[in-house]
Amino acid sequence: MLLDETPLFDPVLLQELDWSSNTISFSPAISPSNPGEGLKLRPLCTADFSRGFFKVLSQLTKTGDVTSELFIKKFDHMKKTGDYYVVVVEDTQLGQIIATATLITEHKFIHSCAKRGRVEEVVVTDACRGKQLGKLLVATLIQLSKKLDCYKTTLECAPKNVAFYEKFGYKASDETYMQCRFFD
């Protein structure tokens, strides 16, 4: 199995985002099509395995020891479902992934068979934090979830990140997040 540049989802979706309806301010101005000098915001591809994708993810949580074969298998599954939108920011000079975030669309019978978006695994490599990339990724996924007709988008985060997500209009709900954890 080979690592290649095939995108997880159609990159046109990112190019066609209506950035004029973005309500988040950026100074200096950046956008999905212009994320900054030498940077590219695009869908994940399997070649990103060799560009430090897991090094970035490991700054969020335990990633486990994932081989390229296992990564490709999971990537192919995600691509087939059509519900996984993993975006990355690549430093094209270094050929390294420096940030990533994921939107997952969940299909419902309720709300007239609507879709709900879930934002997961938002992480910017530590050396690149504070340069608006986290903000750009989340703002991009919000626009993308609107484009994909999600009726809402939700996320779970640590208390220390609540203020970050409030910038986008996320509000803590009165529902309690519960889980049964089977392994780490």
Q: Which of 171, 167, 143, 145 is nearest to 22 (CA)?
A: 143
For the CB of residue 66, give the shortest distance to ligand ACO in the complex, in Å. Answer: 18
Q: Is 36 in the site for ligand ACO (CB under 6 A)?
A: no
Burial label for 130, CB within 10 Å (0-12, 13-18, 19+), is exposed
Q: Is 122 in the site for ligand ACO (CB under 6 A)?
A: yes
Q: Which single residue is written with the structure tokens 């519960």? A: 178
Single out the residue of 131, 154, 168, 170 in contact with ligand ACO (rule: CB under 6 A). 131
Nearer to ligand ACO, 3 or 31 (CB): 31
Q: Is 1 in the site for ligand ACO (CB under 6 A)?
A: no
Nearer to ligand ACO, 45 or 123 (CB): 123
Q: Is 124 in the site for ligand ACO (CB under 6 A)?
A: yes
Phi, psi at 161, each rounded to 5°: -100, 0
**Helix, strand or coil, per DSSP, at residue 162:** helix
For the CB of residue 69, give the shortest distance to ligand ACO in the complex, in Å. Answer: 26
Q: Which single residue is written with the structure tokens 């997961």? A: 120
Please give the full DSSP string across 89-100, using - where no structure is assigned. Answer: EEETTTTEEEEE
Tokens of 161: 């990140």
Nearer to ligand ACO, 160 or 171 (CB): 160
**Helix, strand or coil, per DSSP, at residue 56:** helix
Nearer to ligand ACO, 80 or 160 (CB): 160
Task: List residues binding ligand ACO (CB under 6 A).
Answer: 59-60, 119-124, 129-135, 155, 157, 160-161, 163-164, 167
